Amino acid sequence: MTTRILSKEKIVLAAVDLINHQENLTFTRLSRILGTRSQALYNYFPDVMAIRIGVAIHFYNDLYQRLQADLLGLSGKEAIKAFNKIFVQYSLSHYPVAQQVIAIPAGKLHNDDLDAAILKIRNIGLKLLKPLVPDKKSRLVISRMLRNLIIGEIVHIGNGRFDNKTISAADSFDQMLNIALSTI
What is the dotted CATH code of the domain comprising 74-181? 1.10.357
User: What's the pTM?
Assistant: 0.91
Q: How many Å from the N-terminal Cα to the C-terminal Cα in the chain?
A: 64
Distance of alpha carbon 90 from alpha carbon 114, whole angstroms: 18
* Lowest-pLDDT choice from 9-13, 42-46, 162-166, 168-172: 162-166
Structural domain spans, the chain: 74-181
Confidence at residue 4, expressed as pLDDT on a 0 to 100 scale? 63
Report the 10 Å Cβ neighbour count for 3: 5
Average pLDDT, the chain: 93
Confidence at residue 1, expressed as pLDDT on a 0 to 100 scale? 42
Span 66-91, pLDDT tens digits: 999 999 999 999 999 999 999 999 99
Is the CA virtual torsion 120, 124, 127, 132 positive or negative? negative
Distance of alpha carbon 96 from alpha carbon 17, whole angstroms: 10
Closest CA to 32 of 47, 49, 45, 17: 17
